[in-house]
């Protein structure tokens, strides 16, 4: 699978930092292939949910069904109980289903009727949305966008990569050929290691200063939230761990600020033609790194 290096790094960062991913991209650029390849590489359970307007929250989380023979209700878990869950075209789901889904992303458990069921660990949602089709969609509200650790886009491969892919794919489905490179228990161990990466007080202040800068920027109606800061710091720790360091650096924060912060900014009504990523870049430029 050909994926831009930066994108792959951010996928691994999100996995290690226990984050969820939103992919905004065109059809046929490999979103499904990426999610399947990730699940296969870590030997994890994979599920896919295709969102439609008539889908109910129960289609995602599961439902209690009556077992006549045993005369009791049984929980039948929905696709959300897999380790890697691809949620295709999340903006086609109704707001009610979206909020049910996003709630379990955060809580990592599901309550049906009165019983709470823990989700799998690791648990990662990779949601996709198409950047050009808006008809019949329900755009995710800001509060829900905020739950995704990173926003990525795969984009089109280079001509060379694309030609190579055509040659390789001619015969068969390549994802099925992938061999796991690790296992779920090791991923859990790595997640624990990331949580133990050190961040100095100065680094935390640096993160806060960057967030504040996006809030103070006249072009934003809404800047990055405290939750955004938590995720940025966690992601920075994951990047430090990937680089075999036991402490995070401003470099880590800078490398991830754009994919972590951009989608959370709400532009001011008069900020016509402004790119949200520019606001993040400006914030990084203006805030002195320690």
Which option in Mg ion, ligand ATP, none does residue 274 bind, with CB closer than 5 to 8 A by kind? none
CA distance 197 to 88: 33
Which option in ligand ATP, Mg ion, none does residue 169 bind, with CB closer than 5 to 8 A by kind? ligand ATP
Cβ closest to ligand ATP, residue 126 vs residue 150 = 126
Q: Which residue is nearest to Mg ion (CB)?
A: 32
Which region, judged by CB under 5 A, interacts with Mg ion, from 31-39, 157-165, 189-197, 220-228? 31-39
Which option in ligand ATP, Mg ion, none does residue 247 bind, with CB closer than 5 to 8 A by kind? none
Which option in Mg ion, ligand ATP, none does residue 30 bind, with CB closer than 5 to 8 A by kind? ligand ATP
Is the link from the previous residue into 259 a cis peptide, with omega within 30 of 0? Answer: no
CA distance 261 to 217: 14
To ligand ATP, the closest distance from the beta carbon of 170 in angstroms equals 11
Which option in Mg ion, ligand ATP, none does residue 180 bind, with CB closer than 5 to 8 A by kind? none
204 burial type by CB count under 10 A (0-12 exposed, 13-18 middle, 19+ buried): middle
Which region, judged by CB under 5 A, interacts with Mg ion, from 24-32, 71-79, 180-188, 229-237? 24-32
Residues in 227-256 that interact with Mg ion by CB under 5 A: none
* Strand residue runs (E) in the chain: 21-24, 46-50, 62-67, 72-77, 84-88, 109-112, 115-118, 124-129, 150-152, 220-222, 266-267
92 φψ region: left (φ > 0), alpha (ψ -120 to 50), beta (else)? alpha
Which option in ligand ATP, Mg ion, none does residue 193 bind, with CB closer than 5 to 8 A by kind? none
To ligand ATP, the closest distance from the beta carbon of 85 in angstroms equals 14
Which region, judged by CB under 5 A, interacts with Mg ion, from 25-33, 96-104, 186-194, 220-228? 25-33
CA 219 to chain centre: 26
Contact 14, 21 (CB under 8 A): yes
Q: Which residue is nearest to ligand ATP (CB)?
A: 30
- Only one residue has tokens 């599920």, namely 47
Other beta carbons within 10 angstroms of residue 6's beta carbon come to 12
- How many residues are present in the chain? 290
Cβ closest to ligand ATP, residue 137 vs residue 225 = 137
32 binding Mg ion? (CB under 5 A): yes
To ligand ATP, the closest distance from the beta carbon of 211 in angstroms equals 32
Alpha helices in 184-225 (DSSP H): 184-195, 201-216
Which region, judged by CB under 5 A, interacts with Mg ion, from 23-31, 54-62, 115-123, 168-176? 23-31
Contact 154, 4 (CB under 8 A): yes
Binning the chain into helix, strand and coil, the percentages to the nearest 5 are 45, 15, 35
Q: Which residues bind ligand ATP (CB under 6 A)?
A: 1-3, 27-33, 88, 157, 165, 169
């Amino acid at each position: 699978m050909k994926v831009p290096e930066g994108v792959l790094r951010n996928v691994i960062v999100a996995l290690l930092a226990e984050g969820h991913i939103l992919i905004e991209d065109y059809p046929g650029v490999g979103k499904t292939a990426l999610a399947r390849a990730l699940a296969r590489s870590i030997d994890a359970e994979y599920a896919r949910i295709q969102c439609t307007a008539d889908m109910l929250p129960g289609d995602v989380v599961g439902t209690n069904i009556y077992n006549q023979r045993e005369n009791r209700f049984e929980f039948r878990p929905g696709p959300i109980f897999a380790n890697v869950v691809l949620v295709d075209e999340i903006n086609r789901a109704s707001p009610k289903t979206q909020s049910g889904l996003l709630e379990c992303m955060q809580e990592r458990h599901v309550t049906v009727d009165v019983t709470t069921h823990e989700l799998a660990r690791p648990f990662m949602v990779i949601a996709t949305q198409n950047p050009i089709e808006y008809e019949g969609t329900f755009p995710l509200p800001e509060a829900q966008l905020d739950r995704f650790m990173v926003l990525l886009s795969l984009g089109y491969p280079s001509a060379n990569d694309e030609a190579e892919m055509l040659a390789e794919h001619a015969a068969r489905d390549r994802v099925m050929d992938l061999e796991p490179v690790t296992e779920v228990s090791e991923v859990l161990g790595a997640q624990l290691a990331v949580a133990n990466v050190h961040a100095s007080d100065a680094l935390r202040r640096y993160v806060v200063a960057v967030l504040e800068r996006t809030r103070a920027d006249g072009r934003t109606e809404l800047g990055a939230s405290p939750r955004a800061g938590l995720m940025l710091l966690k992601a920075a720790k994951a990047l430090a761990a990937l680089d075999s360091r036991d402490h995070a650096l401003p470099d880590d924060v800078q490398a991830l600020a754009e994919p972590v912060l951009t989608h959370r900014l709400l532009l001011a009504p008069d900020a016509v033609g402004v790119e949200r990523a520019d606001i993040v870049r400006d914030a990084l430029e203006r805030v002195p790194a320690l």
